Amino acid sequence: MREIDAKYQEILKELDDYYEKFKRETDGTQKRRVLHCIQRALIRSQELGDEKIQIVSQMVELVENRSRQVDSHVELF
């Protein structure tokens, strides 16, 4: 999770840089290129978010399975 968070922070810094470039840029073609870079960074951030959700879902499933195992062992005693 920390690794994903670190990557996410890097992307946020990139987005800040791209936004500043976009504000300064006067050429329409260059603005479109910067917007494309912003879009790619946003897509990468979404993918990282999806990855975190998948990891959390797996963790929840593991905890629920372990809880059921403990409950079944308690019933035996």
The pLDDT score that the predictor gives to residue 69 is 93
What is the predicted pLDDT for the residue at 67?
A: 95
- What was the pLDDT predicted at 52? 97
Please name the amino acid found at residue 42. L
- pLDDT of 60 reads 98
Residues of the chain where predicted confidence (pLDDT) is lower than 70: none
pLDDT at 75: 81
Domain ranges (residues) in the chain: 2-76
Instruction: Give the angle 53-58-64 at the CA atoms, nearest 5°.
Output: 125
pLDDT score recorded for residue 74: 86
Note the pTM of the prediction, 2 decimals: 0.78
